[in-house]
Amino acid sequence: MRVVIACGGTGGHIYPGLAVAEALRERDPAAEILFVGGAGLEATIIPQHGWPFRAVAARQLPRRVSLRALRAIGAVLAGTVQAAGLLRAFRAQAVVVTGGYAAAPVGAAAAMLRLPIVLQEQNLFPGLTNRLLSRLAAAISLPHAQLRARFPDATVTGVPIRRAAMGGDRARGLARWGLEAGRFTVLVLGGSQGAQSLNAAMLEAGGHLRDPHTVQVLHQTGKGQAEWVRGRAAQMRAPRYLAVGYIDDVADAYACADLVVCRAGAGTLAEVTANGLPCVLVPYPYAAAGHQEANARVLAGAGAAVIVPDRELSGTHLAEVIDALRGDPVRRRAMAEASGRLGRPDAAARVAALVVQAARKEQA
């Protein structure tokens, strides 16, 4: 079986693609998989994970008519031609599209060549690429039943997550990051690119926590923000504070966490719920169509999360929320159970099954 996975632009589109690739290879060790995207994060992240990658021309389409929009359309057209050549040369049997502007030329080329397309949508508000391709798709994977009204024939699978995000070991994680077993551990995740306001608020919160000597923080800052966070954290006597740019094998970090503080990207929340963890969510306020706020409301409505809007975010407020949850183990346990009920650790395998089914129909 030969499958092309089109993704890129942000980690939220890339990592579900990587998870599906892992699941496809588990089903069929001989499966040939090629990733195709643009020149963004995908061009670095995907080869780092050992998968073949090819780039095609792609640009984000501005929402207003302008010279930039014309250039973007030109790039999409050029990328579509390039992608068609790649699909033919690879002899693809199915194409998985996880969304994002970098996937648009590949999806368009697959439609032109009449190859089966499997759309994987992570958010409650589908992006432009997936909306445009939805009528041409052989199968559509949804994160939540709320989207059934828009895509009635789709399959609710959840958001695919990598093996590296599950099955962590607490003892190994504590040793890896030099954490202490007896301290309340807060895992802070701002996303692969970091989150300036969340990073700053968490640093400030460290100085406002009650009994800070009983707390430790493992903080994924984003690679571009690690140095200044480390510099600020080094000036604090408590809590114990470890800042790292990026955590790739994040399962051990989840295993160490008593509480997660994070943005509300679909991929991050899929990992948090698959690990059954309580969380404090600070949705990114500029996410397209407010999808992070919508994602957060699903968890909060189920009792798995507390939402702190970015406009209300401050170190003192964040410290108050963390202290309240730290001091209420019964509530944290209930939140963890609610989180686990939302988790879909088998999502990648379910999407892989859709891909195999689509490819077999094409061969029949």
| Tens digits of residue pLDDT in 1-34 | 999 999 988 888 999 999 999 999 999 999 999 9
Q: In the CATH hierarchy, which fold is given to the domain comprising 2-161+345-363?
A: Rossmann fold (3.40.50)
Q: What's the pLDDT score for residue 286? A: 86
- Token pair, residue 55, equals 């780039």
| Tens digits of residue pLDDT in 158-204 | 999 999 999 999 999 999 999 999 999 999 997 666 688 999 999 99
Rounded average pLDDT over 138-161: 94
DSSP letter string, 198-217:
HHHHHHHHHTT-SSGGGEEE
Inter-helix orientation angle 266-274/11-27, to 10°: 50
Per DSSP, helices labelled H in the chain are: 11-27, 42-48, 67-90, 104-112, 128-133, 170-177, 196-206, 226-234, 251-256, 266-274, 291-302, 315-326, 329-342, 347-363
Q: What's the pLDDT score for residue 72? A: 72
In the chain, pLDDT over 90 holds for what percent of residues?
76
Q: What's the pLDDT score for residue 249? A: 79
- Answer for the pair 274, 295: CB distance below 8 angstroms, yes or no: no
| Tens digits of residue pLDDT in 235-248 | 887 789 999 998 87
Burial 136-160 (b: 16+ CB within 10 A, else e): ebbbbbbbbeebeeebeebebbbbb
Q: What's the pLDDT score for residue 66? A: 59
- Answer for the pair 54, 45: CB distance below 8 angstroms, yes or no: no
Rounded average pLDDT over 104-118: 95
Tell me the backbone φ, ψ of residue 2, rounded to 5 degrees: -120, 120
| Per-residue pLDDT band at 82 (split at 50, 70, 90) | very high
The domains of the chain are located at 2-161+345-363, 164-342
Q: How far apart are CA 108 and CA 327, in angstroms?
A: 53
Please give the single-letter amino acid code of residue 265.
G
Residue 74 has pLDDT above 90, yes or no: no
Q: In the CATH hierarchy, which fold is given to the domain comprising 164-342?
A: Rossmann fold (3.40.50)
Q: How far apart are CA 219 and CA 178, in angstroms?
A: 13
Q: How far apart are CA 173 and CA 132, in angstroms?
A: 43
Cα–Cα nearest to 359, from 154, 93, 49:
93
Rounded average pLDDT over 207-215: 94
Rounded average pLDDT over 217-234: 90
| Per-residue pLDDT band at 222 (split at 50, 70, 90) | confident
- Token pair, residue 47, equals 């080869």
Kindly list the distances between the CA atom of residue 169 and the CA atoms of 215, 257, 294, 346, in Å, as whole numbers in the listed order. 20, 11, 31, 19
Q: 49: helix, coil or strand?
A: coil
Q: How far apart are CA 348 and CA 353, in angstroms?
A: 9
Residue 349 has pLDDT above 60, yes or no: yes
Residue 61 has pLDDT above 90, yes or no: no
Q: What's the pLDDT score for residue 193? A: 60
Q: What's the pLDDT score for residue 316? A: 97
Long-range (24+ apart) CB contacts under 8 A made by 112-116 are 112/80, 112/84, 113/84, 113/87, 113/88, 115/87, 115/362, 116/358, 116/359, 116/361, 116/362
Identical topology for domains 2-161+345-363 and 164-342: yes
| Per-residue pLDDT band at 63 (split at 50, 70, 90) | low
2-6 vs 94-97, strand pairing mode: parallel
> What does the mean pLDDT of the chain come to?
92
- Answer for the pair 195, 221: CB distance below 8 angstroms, yes or no: no
Residue 44 has pLDDT above 80, yes or no: yes
- Answer for the pair 108, 116: CB distance below 8 angstroms, yes or no: no
